[in-house]
Amino acid sequence: MTPHRTRHRRPARSGIAAFALSALAQAAAAQTAPVETIVISGSGAEQRAFDTPYAVDVVDAQELRSAGPMVNLSEALQRVPGLVVNMRNNYAQDLQISSRGFGARASFGVRGMRLYSDGIPAAGPDGQGQVSHFDIAGASRIEVLRGPFSALYGNGSGGVISLVTRAPQERRFEFDADAGSAGLRQLRVGVEAPLSGGFNLRASLSGFQVDGFRPQSSARRTLGNLRLGYDGAADHVVVVLNAIDQPADDPLGLTRAQFDADPDQTTGVALPQDAPGQPNRYNTRKNTTQSQAGVQWRHDFDDAGALQRSAVAVYGGRRSVTQWQSIPVSTQNASADQPGGVIDFDRRYAGVDARLFFSWEHARLVTGASLDRQQEDRRGNENFIGSAADQLLGVTGALRRDEDNLARSRDVYAQGEIDLPANLSLSAGLRHGTLKVASNDHFLSNGDDSGALDYSYTNPVAALRWQATNDWNLYLSSGRGYESPTLNEMAYRPDGQSGFNTGLRAQRSHQWELGSKWRDRALGVALDVALFRADTEDEIGVQTNTGGRSTYQNVGRTSRHGAEIDLRWQITPHWRTQVTASVLDATYRDGFFTCAGAGCAAANVLVPAGNRIAGTLPRSGFAELVWSPGATEFGIEAHGQGRQPVNDLNSDFAGGYGLLALRASWRVPLGGGRLELLGRVDNVADRRVAGSVIVNEGNQRFFEPNAGRNFLLSARFSQAF
């Protein structure tokens, strides 16, 4: 996806975005009616959210700023209906993100979603991704697409999240400082400037640190970003560089008994040893570093007939992770197959996406092709050295796993739109892709786990939109989704034999969406409603969990259906509100057998048809009321969700809850610059709830507690030069 500048113009009647996303801009103080924001994303075609035949949302820079310290996507994306982004209060684990129930099965990493930062994929060819390197503070917006049209982004069924960095508008220096509960502190410096000759530059560096409200939950993060742009008469080029270094302790989850007794505690196996020989203290933690670069080039044609534009994006990077887990010494010693208690990998990734845009009087078309590749050196080590009274835990010991993994995808796609009589427009698209995954095992003393698998898919989508009036659009869309197993999910066979899990198939879904979008500019109201259904075949789930090896299986058919609503109302020039709500019924249509816990070598417990899919939410909602009299703003927020199943057996649930937050901000001139102050109080009532769950956790440590009442004070000073 190639990001471009946001600008206002008379909206095109239609567009071709692979996804063209937009939302309502905040109303100017002197206006009652909201102003539609035209965004250019994906294909480069302009289109209002009102005109898209699918569910889209945009969280703009001001909403990101007011939601918190701009470290986690969970701060602001809770306002997007259909999307679940839970705050884990654990920086050693990536956020859990799901859309309409897709991606909910992930206990680590992000699956089932396509993720982008300035057009650079943050999800690998095998479908697993992470968002720790997202520069939220530098974003102009975060765009979210849900529903059938996300199938056009390839290997992932649930949706698309794309962060777009803002382009420099003036020469400006910024300095930010944050302080909050649990030892939260952050400093950020940045500079942006239009340069001569059509060039522009934006650079930022931030340092974040938190002690955490639970023992063994501290974290540090250093994040640097550089954006260099060029805007010529026909060519537009953006170069993006970023790097992150993030060491973080891992407090692990809590069992039901631990959570009920004290949600502020940390299970003992996560803590460091007080002295050599102390048992069951593994100092669980994770170190992450990542650096990447991307180049995007767009060329506009003036005399090429229907050919209007070309766009090319090229990226590459490296991610290194070392994670010390709490797998017991006895488990590692019991089997030669056990891969150790330390995960250590270096991953190199690269890709290219090229596309052409065509336009006729009543039709538009985009065609393209992409190549993505990731290769990693993955090792596993024991998490102990020595024995008895001299034994050290939480260290890197003897090698237990050594392999090279490869994932490579090749895709071609096309999407078009044509205007029809009677205020109708038809959109249709097709994406065809192939995925190759392979592993070359170098640690052969416990057998050869080498292997390779090939997957291919063809995802069609189509939508019909009817503009009933100038202020009311109706649409019906349908598509087919595809989600392959990740490299981790296919690494081991459930029968304990060596080699890849060659029997594991990709899950396929058929999705439908019926939507309505209504705007009343006189009242200042915007209302989007979507009804959806997704039926999946060969859903992927856990089969066994023994000796530190998890294996996966296809568990049959599942169904996800529900509704989403997004209401925004500029009540008066100084008062506005937003209310979103989601209802989801996500269940297994076929029964299957699974393991009930760790140490289970064969699936032996029945999950009956009708059980809810672990990690999905039947109900969720967000509401805010904001008073903004000029340079001051006060807001009250409410966020709530229903009971969340912690496992496929539905043997326990994280309780439903509702939380309140208060915020206030001020913008005042200071010297020749401007000072912005933000104060937040989250979880005002100090409710102790499970903010997220670790789905199907083998040791029954499902619950990740949410922080109690907590505070944030933030200051941002900017000065033009």
Q: How much is the CA Rg of the chain, to the nearest whole Å?
A: 25
**pLDDT value, residue 50:** 87
**CA 201-205-211 angle, 5° bins:** 160
Is it the case that residue 288 has pLDDT exceeding 70? Answer: yes
Residue 212's nearest CA partner among 258, 271, 171, 162 is 271
**pLDDT value, residue 548:** 58
Mean pLDDT, the chain, whole residue set: 89
Distance CA 550, CA 600 (A): 10
Task: Report, as an integer, the average pLDDT of 222-251.
Answer: 96
Q: Pick the residue with more confidence: 234 or 126?
A: 234
Distance CA 256, CA 328 (A): 21
3-class DSSP state for residue 196?
A: helix
Distances, alpha carbon 404 to alpha carbons 327, 379, 564, 570, in Å: 23, 9, 43, 55
Distance CA 664, CA 628 (A): 10
Task: Report, as an integer, the average pLDDT of 314-341.
Answer: 92
Task: Report, as an integer, the average pLDDT of 240-266.
Answer: 96
Alpha helices for 129-264 (secondary structure H): 256-261
pLDDT 10s digits, 590-618 = 999 998 776 677 788 999 999 999 999 99
Ordered domains of the chain (ranges, CATH): 24-720 (2.40.170.20)
**pLDDT value, residue 10:** 35
Distance CA 385, CA 394 (A): 9
Residue 77's nearest CA partner among 1, 160, 147 is 160
C-beta of residue 349 within 8 angstroms of C-beta of residue 372: yes
- Spell out the SS3 assignment of 406-430: EEEEEEEEEEEEEEECCCEEEEEEE
Task: Write b or e for each residue in 205-243: b if 16 or more Cβ atoms lie within 10 A of its Cβ, otherwise e.
Answer: ebebebebbbbbbbbebebbbebbbebeeeebbbbbbbb
pLDDT 10s digits, 54-84 = 999 999 999 999 999 999 999 999 999 999 9
- Spell out the SS3 assignment of 636-700: EEEEEECCEECCCCCCCEECCEEEEEEEEEEEEEECCEEEEEEEEEECCCCCCCEEEECCCCCCC
Sign of CA dihedral 42, 45, 46, 49: negative
**pLDDT value, residue 157:** 65
Distance CA 200, CA 459 (A): 39
